[in-house]
């Protein structure tokens, strides 16, 4: 649990978070960074990762959010984002095999997804509701979800060259061209650089004698 401006970082080697109600809960201004190494978040009954109440999560490749959710849980998802919160995802992250949508963004929240695999989920790959926005680019793959690649309500917006106009998300914009991907795109710059530097220091310390 990363609450009230707490910063939580995973790095190095293999990290596994499994068989809880919620795998990682980031709330009330918390920040989570899933960085170097592989983090597997699986078998959690509500959501693998929950990001709520003005919070941020950053996935820098190699995270696997899989096989989370329950048919009896209304907030089921691989990743649940709401309450003006933000998720930035770049690199070879996977959101797969979850009961429910792969990712839900609700209540004025934002997704920025590049080069991820979001597939094999029992509902949509991505669901946008109540003034939420998703920017999906790079080699992101959203095929193979039972509810289709993406849905959104009339108040939400998807920005992508990968998701066609119309269909289950009528509010779709095609960006004019590629743009640099930076943490500042989601207002995460005040957090991201400090957290990455802390992760590097911790990694160096872990190499020393036990």
Model confidence over 157-191: pLDDT tens digits? 999 987 654 447 888 888 776 554 444 444 444 44
Please give the Cα distance from 121 to 28 (Å, whole number).
28
Which token pair is 15? 């990290």
The structure tokens listed for 54 are: 């003005």
Query: With contact defined as beta carbons under 8 Å apart, do 105 and 127 qualify?
Result: yes
The number of beta carbons lying within 10 Å of the beta carbon of residue 48 is: 31
Q: How far apart are CA 152 and CA 130, in angstroms?
A: 9
Say yes or no to pLDDT of 65 above 50: yes
pLDDT at 207: 57
Residue pair 171/147 in contact (Cβ under 8 Å)? The answer is: no
The pair of structure tokens assigned to 89 is: 């995802």
Average pLDDT, the chain: 86
Which tokens sit at 203? Answer: 């990694």
Instruction: Supply the pLDDT for residue 168.
Output: 79
pLDDT of residue 182: 43
Report pLDDT for 90: 94
Q: What is the CA radius of gyration of the chain?
A: 16
Residues 17-28, mean pLDDT to the nearest whole number? 97
Residue 107 is classified by DSSP as S
């Amino acid at each position: 649990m990363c609450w009230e401006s707490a910063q939580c970082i995973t790095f190095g080697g293999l990290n596994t978070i499994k068989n809880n109600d919620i795998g990682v809960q980031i709330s009330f201004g918390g920040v989570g960074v899933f960085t170097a190494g592989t983090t597997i978040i699986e078998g959690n009954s509500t959501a693998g990762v929950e990001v709520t109440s003005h919070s941020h999560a950053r996935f820098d490749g190699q995270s696997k959010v899989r096989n989370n959710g329950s048919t009896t849980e209304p907030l089921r998802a691989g990743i649940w984002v709401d309450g003006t919160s933000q998720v930035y995802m770049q690199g070879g992250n996977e959101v797969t095999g979850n009961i429910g949508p792969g990712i839900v963004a609700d209540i004025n929240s934002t997704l920025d997804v590049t080069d991820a695999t979001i597939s094999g989920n029992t509902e949509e790959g991505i669901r946008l509701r109540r003034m939420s926005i998703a920017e999906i680019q790079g080699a992101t793959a959203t095929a193979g979800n039972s509810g289709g690649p993406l849905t959104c309500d009339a108040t939400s917006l998807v920005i992508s060259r990968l998701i066609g106009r119309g269909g289950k998300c009528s509010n779709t914009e095609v960006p004019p061209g590629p743009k640099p991907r930076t943490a500042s795109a989601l207002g995460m710059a005040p957090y991201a650089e400090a957290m990455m530097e802390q992760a590097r220091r911790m990694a160096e310390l872990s190499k020393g004698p036990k």
